[in-house]
């Protein structure tokens, strides 16, 4: 174990990044998907995905997404590092051991130096298992925040964010209340 992490996870991240480079590119605001199956080490004693494991799986989805947009390569080149600043998740249906599912990831916008991602876990039959929002910052080598406008411009993006979904805005307001 590495800091309480099953050894399989450290291999999933670089493998996901490597595969992302070989998949078709997506724009930052487009959805990317990963087809996955619940592994034994993803499960708790009820043999469904552990609530904490959802966060690690979401990291894989964002790694795939930014790898396919070109942002991951830019971050490596400039020695930038993504850091999660918060997550809110709503569980709807369980994902049991060996269940196939799709993890859908898309950037829904940016504000105040944060990127905001919506991530949806969908069972093979189309049922919603969980929906989450994550806010992520990018830090430079000096550990200072690199604004989305900075790297967005290098990706050819409009500097103006789309309007954030109401449910995300509600979560953000709750952080300051």
Confidence grade of residue 117 (pLDDT, cut at 50, 70, 90): very high
- Per-residue CA distances from 47 to 42, 61, 93, 98, 165 (Å): 9, 22, 13, 9, 33
Query: Which secondary-structure segment (H or E) carries 66?
Result: helix 51-69
Residue 7 has pLDDT above 80, yes or no: no
Could you tell me the pLDDT band of residue 104, with boundaries at 50, 70 and 90? very high
Q: Please state the pTM of the whole predicted model.
A: 0.90
What would the mean pLDDT of 3-8 be, rounded to a whole number? 49
| Domain 8-175 homologous superfamily, CATH | Hotdog Thioesterase (3.10.129.10)
The candidate with the shortest Cα–Cα distance to 129, out of 106, 99, 164, is: 99
pLDDT tens sequence across 61-93 = 999 999 999 999 999 999 999 999 999 999 999
Whether 3 shows a pLDDT value over 50: the answer reads no
In the block, tokens 């569980």 appear at 91
- 6: pLDDT strictly greater than 60: no
pLDDT of 162 strictly over 90: yes
């Amino acid at each position: 174990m590495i800091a309480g992490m099953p050894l399989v996870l450290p291999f999933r991240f670089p493998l996901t990044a490597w595969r992302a480079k070989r998949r078709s590119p997506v724009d930052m605001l487009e959805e990317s998907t990963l087809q996955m199956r619940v592994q034994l080490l993803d499960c708790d004693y009820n043999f469904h995905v552990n609530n904490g494991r959802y966060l690690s799986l979401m990291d894989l989805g964002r790694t795939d997404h930014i790898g396919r947009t070109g942002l991951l390569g830019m971050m490596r080149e400039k020695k930038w590092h993504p850091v999660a600043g918060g997550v809110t998740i709503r569980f709807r249906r369980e994902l049991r051991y060996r269940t196939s599912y799709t993890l859908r990831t898309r950037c829904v916008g940016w504000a105040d130096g944060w990127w905001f991602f919506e991530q949806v876990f969908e069972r093979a039959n189309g049922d919603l298992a969980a929906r989450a929002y994550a806010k992520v910052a990018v830090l430079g080598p000096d550990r200072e925040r690199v604004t989305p406008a900075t790297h967005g411009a290098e990706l050819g993006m409009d500097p103006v964010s789309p309007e954030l979904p109401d449910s995300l805005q509600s979560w953000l307001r709750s952080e300051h209340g």
